[in-house]
Amino acid sequence: MSYVIAVANQKGGVGKTTTAINLAASLAATRRRVLLVDLDAQGNATMGVGVDKGAVARTVRDVLLEESPIREVIVDLPSLGLSLLPANGDMTEAEIKLRDMAVGDFALKTALADVASDFDYVVLDCPPALSKLTVNALVAADGVLIPMQCEYYALEGLSALMDTIQKIRRVINPRLEVEGLLRTMYDPRNNLAIDVSNQLIQHFGDKVYRTLVPRNVRLAEAPSHGLPAMVYDPASAGAKAYLALAGEVLRRHDGGQMRLSA
């Protein structure tokens, strides 16, 4: 059975898609079977792994609306060692139509059940809003990974997301847990970043990953080349940070044997 991680934060610009792409690629580098699912109409995760979102014949929209079997939509990316369920602007239609479906909140969970034995990890890149698509992700997920910048408004947005997670857990998905909080775009020279970081640790304890993802030029450049950072520049600080994050995830779930690919 696969372990499903939803990378979620309703606040944009916190490194959510960057985290989804690079965590998926880092887990794949440890020889885990990984599926990256793009749930955002912007299709940034799709483009970020080198797939032209405008050229794909079918997307996760077709899967959610039960118009195509999931195995026929998944794109295998052997050069990256992972698979992708792509997205593009069609996701806007899916968002609307799911509201009218009797079991619309369970569409993604139902689809992923068909490939649960094919993957060790499924990483869901959620849209930057608490939308119907995000609810689908939280219903399907085992854990929620929350990337966030260490700034004042980030704490305010975090409480709304936590409320949503609690409601989903209470009503629909009792196994849902906060997988962890990831501090992104971290600058240790910034006093506010240090203060917010300390508040997170004080409140959430070991739910805060030890890994700190720094502001890193190579990490920012990688998506424009359609590559995860660890492929674009494996020696960069950003690539090393996400490999460390993958190590933390593995230690929590399967003993953390890295088994790095050659």
The CATH code for residues 3-253 is 3.40.50.300
What does the alpha-carbon distance between residue 246 and residue 241 come to, in Å, rounded to a whole number? 9
Residue 260 pLDDT: 53
What does the alpha-carbon distance between residue 43 and residue 59 come to, in Å, rounded to a whole number? 10
Residue 228 pLDDT: 97
Residue 259 pLDDT: 54
Split the chain (262 residues) into runs of 10 and give each run's mean pLDDT. 94 90 97 97 96 96 96 97 96 91 92 97 93 94 94 78 92 94 90 88 93 94 96 96 97 67 46
* Domain residue extents for the chain: 3-253
Enter the tokens of residue 85: 């369920």
- Are 208 and 174 in contact, with CB atoms under 8 Å apart? no
Q: Which residues have C-beta within 8 Å of that of residue 207, sequence separation ≥ 6?
A: 178, 180, 181
Residue 256 pLDDT: 52
What does the alpha-carbon distance between residue 212 and residue 107 come to, in Å, rounded to a whole number? 34
Residue 262 pLDDT: 43
Alpha helices in 65-144 (DSSP H): 70-73, 91-98, 107-113, 132-140
